[in-house]
Structure 1
């Protein structure tokens, strides 16, 4: 978390022993509650009950529902699956798109992402945590694009972060706006469109 934020302790520290177990239990409980009821009904006392810890512990450590969501995003970023590398830009982007699709279509993860996005619209600390989450995930996959540039698949100067973001953007549109299916066909179309645009130079930095 940002320096001076009231949430920086849970996001920055990696304590061991009981403290780590309490944090893990609370974050699991928070994810379950968000997936079931959304951000508007996230209650710290309910999270404490689900996690089997004292309310005082939760209130002292996270202070607000938005603070809990911010820390949950930190944990989600560190636990996300690493990228795959096939030696082909299209195959790499397709792997990324399918991973995003599986996550968003998951009966728990999909509602959870909707809830944390809702939290980010209401609280700046949650919004900053969401931006960091996506920056982390995009940075994880950016080397696939950099390698495609090095192989000559893409024009020099292609912005790898923009390419990776272009893959997931239409999938989040399906989750949040259109309600269209989140399946492998949608993932493959998103990857193919991003790859075609990248080859055409759409993501070359000025």
Structure 2
């Protein structure tokens, strides 16, 4: 049942917005923000431009986000969609190979090339962005942590494995090529080579 605000002046009580309406408005703002990030980047992004693009009131935007930094990172997260699950084939090597063979397909989406550089720049230049990107990345790494923890439980890799090092080594290779060198992300044998290189350091 919708919440009703009490009135004492004889006028009709004002109904609070329904959850579905609130969510649709937030999505409208986030989609507008994502489009602006692609077009003009974080540096030129402003709440005024989001208001103009989304046709959502300033008061509504500030009800959900404190500043453009919070808005930008949430828009990026929404644009990426749900964190894809990792493979679970019963072997850590097969899991890693399957996961990183499809990783290039994920990174080939235009959003990575159009939005990620701007988000990285923001994390280095805007004090309001402090911690937002690292928190975002930390949450996105959770599926890979589960993959390695399964391997530990199966006795395939050492219990003292530094999982963060392993994830950063594997994923970082692809981000380096995507953002720095422009080299191919899907070369034959690459996923196998990366998996074997990391596993050689942590096998039990």
TM-score (norm 1): 0.74
Higher relative contact order (CA 8 A, sep 6+): 1
Deviation at 1:127, TM superposition (A): 3.8
Q: Which runs of 5+ in 1 are unaligned?
A: 1-14
> Is the counterpart of residue 180 in structure 1 residue 183 in structure 2?
yes
Deviations 1:11-57 (A, max 9, x none): xxxx9222211111111121121122221222323322332323443
The 1:161–1:122 alpha-carbon spacing in structure 2 relative to 1, beyond 3 Å, is: same
Residue 34 of structure 2 contacts residue 75 of structure 2 at CA under 8 Å; is this kept in 1? yes
Of Structure 1 and Structure 2, which has the larger fraction of its residues in helix? 1
Residue 29 of structure 2 contacts residue 50 of structure 2 at CA under 8 Å; is this kept in 1? yes
Q: Which runs of 5+ in 2 are unaligned?
A: 1-17
Residue 97 of structure 1 contacts residue 190 of structure 1 at CA under 8 Å; is this kept in 2? yes
State the partner residue of 1:165: 168
Secondary structure in 2 aligned to 1:181? coil
Which structure would you say has the larger Rg? 2
- Measure the CA separation in 2 of the matches of 1:137 and 1:21: 24
Deviations 1:83-127 (A, max 9, x none): 231122233223433444223221233312222112111224424
Deviating more after overlay: 35-44 vs 59-68: 59-68
RMSD: 2.9
State the partner residue of 1:199: 200
1:1-206 to 2 correspondences below 5 Å: 16-58=19-61, 61-72=64-75, 75=78, 79-182=82-185, 184-185=186-187, 189=190, 192-201=193-202
- How many residue pairs match? The answer is 187
Deviation at 1:132, TM superposition (A): 1.2
Deviation at 1:190, TM superposition (A): 5.1
TM-score (norm 2): 0.75
